[in-house]
Structure 1
Amino acid sequence: MRPTLVAVAHGSRDPRALPAASALLDRIRELRPRLDVRLGHIELNRPLLGEALREATGAAVLVPLLLGRGHHVKRDLPAAAARATHLDTRVAAPLGPHPLLVEALYERLLEAGWVPGAGTAVVLAAAGSRDPEAAADTRRTAVLLSERLGGAPVVPAYASAAVPTVPDAVRALAARGHHRIAVASYFTAPGRFAAQCAASAPGPASAPLGDHPALARLVLRRYDEALARQRTSPPSPPSPPSPLSPLSATALEPATA
């Protein structure tokens, strides 16, 4: 028996969030039909993570449906795993940064009507965190997305806890002469922050990543990677940014390829 894959969503009061997470898990089951795949939430939705772990047996891998390092990944998930003493439990790395995640962002932008060209720029709208490593992960994703978009500037911005905000990033890009600005939703599911960021878009705003096929493949990749790590050890980023990378620029400096 392979360890159970427990996908850990944050949870949201938005009624669309739970169906979005369930649809993603259905895609994962299609890719690996014999794998036991379950859902747990950090808060706000059932089943909560503790409930999901109590119902599991043998071994489990917690795969956070979260896009970077932060308190939930570093503290909450390892603590929940440690409390599940009846399980051999490991914690996977967050989903980002990763090229599969960037591919999902790119295709969601195309679905929203983004078209490359002069004056085009993108705001990568994320939830935000006070953890500097979470911000570094988002900036790294902005660099990768800029490369995928053929060099179009991509500025990371946040709904809370970090700067710049999405409206500030939009204004900064407009001041630099970018008159076609899209917002890329860096959220796995619909929710208040995703809606708030989309409402600030002067142009196209992509949908949350949801059940994009690339996201399902990435969840399975994180699951497989975690099987080689020590039990409940805090995950490390798969591709830490180089000290000489564009990430050393200021938060409002657009990432370009």
Structure 2
Amino acid sequence: MTTLVACSHGTRSPAGRTVIARIRTALAAAVPEAALREAYVDVEQPEVAGVVAEAAAHGPVVVLPLLLSTGFHTSVDIAAAVAPHPSAAAAEPLGPHELLVRSLRDRLAAVSGGDAGHRPGDHVVLAAAGSSDPAAACAVERMRDLLAARLPAPVTVGYGAGCAPTIPEAVARARAAGARRVIAASYVLAPGHFADLVERAGADLVSAPLGDHPAVIAVAAARFRQACLALTAPAAG
């Protein structure tokens, strides 16, 4: 049986920990063929490298980043955790993915009564955590494009850290461009530091984190199975 290491960032937020636990529970039900383990890259324990080393001694391992974009934690922390083990591989992060548009739109609908992005004068800011890795900004821009294709309102991006513009700057720019209502679409998984930044950015409405939305779980399961195929491909050939 393949071990699925569901690796999140880690948070001090009790609410955030609860949401991540719900994601892991839903993911375990979605991939019954895997043995699910938890791991973290920061703040919480167990640390991902130790979990991978232990699991790899008993069989194949896939580390699934419970992260919405690539960045330092995927390219350095998780990559370093799997590198020493031929039977271990890292899955792609959850985003960007077209299925996540469904979760974003549902969260926007919940905060607005169903009309977010559809009322004249609306402007949606896709509010992401951000990273110093340029690839992360590219990933978020791709997610913006996917969301913009499904909303009549303008959609721009704001970041919590590492990239420009910041979320407050993106909100201010939307208002300066004539927006009557600015809605921040929280492109974060769970409550915590970055969700708090989105809440304080000055938007008129702020959607909830994506959490354990069914589309998030579907993407996570697909990322895991894709990584399993890649891990077994050399043996099959």
Q: Which TM-score applies when normalising by structure 2?
A: 0.90
Q: Are the aligned partners of 2:8 and 2:39 in contact in 1 as well (CA < 8 Å)?
A: yes
Letter in 2 for 1:130: S
Q: Is the 8 A contact 2:88 2:231 kept in 1?
A: no
- Describe the SS at the equivalent of 1:39: strand
Q: Do the aligned partners of 2:49 and 2:78 also contact (CA within 8 Å) in 1?
A: no
- Partner of residue 91, structure 2: 92
Corresponding residue number in structure 2 for 1:60: 61
Name the aligned partner's letter for residue 160 of structure 1: A
| Counterpart contact for 2:125–2:183, Cα < 8 Å | yes
Q: Which runs of 5+ in 1 are unaligned?
A: 232-257
Tell me the alpha carbon deviations over residues 189-232 of structure 1, each in whole angstroms, 9 at most, x when there is no partner: 1111211111224321011111111111111100111123359x
- The residue number in structure 2 matching 1:144 is 146
Residue 124 of structure 1, CA deviation? 0.8
Aligned counterpart, 2:158: 157
Q: What is the SS of the residue equivalent to 1:106?
A: helix
- Cross-structure match for 1:190: 191
Identity of aligned residues (%): 38
Shift of 1:30: 2.1
Runs of 4+ in 1 over 4 A off after TM superposition: none
Render the CA deviation track for 1:22-61: whole Å, top value 9, x for unaligned: 1011111222334212211001112221342244230110
* 1:31 equivalenced with 2:30 (yes/no): yes
Please name the residue that 1:119 is paired with.
121
1:131 is displaced (CA, Å) by 1.4
Note the alpha carbon deviations across 1:54-99, whole angstroms, 9 max, x for none: 442301101111111211111211101124x4x7101111111101
Alpha-carbon contact 2:97-2:143 (below 8 Å) kept: yes
- Which structure carries more helix by proportion? 2
Structure 2 gap segments, 5+ residues each: 233-237
1:19 CA drift (Å):
1.4
The residue number in structure 1 matching 2:74 is 73
Q: Is the 8 A contact 2:69 2:95 kept in 1?
A: yes
CA distance in 2: counterparts of 1:51 and 1:189, whole angstroms: 24
- The equivalent residue for 1:252 is none
**2:60 and 2:17 mapped to 1: Cα distance?**
25
Q: What is the letter of the counterpart of residue 14 of structure 1?
A: S
**Cα pair 1:119 1:179 within 8 Å, conserved:** yes
Q: Is the 8 A contact 2:186 2:209 kept in 1?
A: yes
| 1:29–1:35 CA contact under 8 A, matched in 2 | yes
Q: TM-score, with normalisation over the residues of structure 1?
A: 0.83
CA contact 1:18–1:45 (8 Å) conserved in 2: no
Aligned partners of 2:49 and 2:80 also within 8 Å: no
Q: Which residue of 1 aligns with 2:104?
A: 105
- Aligned pairs for 1:222-241 within 5 A: 222-229=223-230
What corresponds to 2:235 in structure 1? none
Aligned to 2:5: 6
1:186 shift after superposition = 0.8
- The alignment covers a number of residue pairs equal to 227
